[in-house]
């Protein structure tokens, strides 16, 4: 079970709400959420709540940016353990494409390049996991996943380059 931090809440009439936190190392910090949306982050003497050592006023945008930095990334551990080099790219089907009006199966993209066409984006919406009989149209955008070399090969194949 993870340790939790105790936060004290104090209403400040006409100002907003103050949230106080004592850290494991004995430091005391407060955040005042003002009624107009601003935040004030302040540091106090742990023995005297009213003595402010330093304070930083934050706009709502700055507060949001700071909160994103403080929240742990839920998938960070996944990035530490993966050593694969996959890329995703959007490749347009133009009127010059030899596969405009033809099916996904006709490209043999996965067999020829090792990369996969995992979705097709159209003005009407996205088509995930298109089947081999799916027919490409001019203006479609293909979502391709694979190695850099494989994705580049699909781009060359689809654009006729």
> Which token pair is 84?
């694969």
Q: What is the layout of strands, in order, in the sheet containing 87-92? A: 87-92, 141-146, 116-122, 125-128
pLDDT score, position 132: 97
Rg, Å, the chain Cα set: 27
> Which token pair is 62?
């700055």
Reference 49, options 66, 32, 70; nearest CA is 32
* Residues sharing a CB contact under 8 Å with residue 125, sequence separation 6 or more, in sequence order: none
Q: Where are the beta strands (DSSP E) in the chain?
A: 7-12, 16-22, 28-34, 39-45, 48-58, 87-92, 116-122, 125-128, 141-146
Place of tokens 């020829």: 112
C-alpha–C-alpha distance, residues 25 and 117, integer Å? 52
pLDDT in 10s for each residue of the chain, 161 residues = 456 678 899 999 999 999 998 888 888 899 999 998 889 999 988 788 778 889 999 988 888 888 888 887 665 655 555 566 889 999 999 999 999 999 999 999 999 999 999 999 998 889 999 999 999 999 999 999 999 999 999 999 999 87
Q: Which fold has domain 86-159?
A: Alpha-Beta Plaits (3.30.70)
């Amino acid at each position: 079970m993870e340790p939790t931090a105790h936060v004290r809440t104090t209403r400040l009439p006409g100002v907003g709400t103050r949230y106080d936190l004592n850290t494991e190392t004995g430091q005391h910090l407060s955040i005042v959420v003002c009624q107009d949306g601003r935040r004030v982050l302040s540091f106090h003497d742990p023995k005297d709540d009213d003595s402010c050592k330093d304070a930083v006023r934050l706009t709502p945008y700055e507060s949001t940016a700071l909160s994103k930095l403080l929240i742990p990334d839920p998938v960070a551990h996944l990035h530490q353990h993966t050593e694969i080099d996959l890329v995703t790219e959007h490749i347009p089907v133009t009127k010059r494409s030899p596969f405009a009006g033809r099916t996904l199966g006709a490209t043999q993209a996965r067999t020829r390049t090792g990369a996969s066409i995992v979705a097709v984006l159209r003005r009407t919406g996205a088509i995930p996991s298109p089947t081999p009989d799916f027919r490409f149209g001019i203006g479609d955008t293909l979502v391709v996943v694979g190695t850099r070399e494989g994705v580049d090969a699909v781009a060359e194949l689809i654009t006729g380059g």
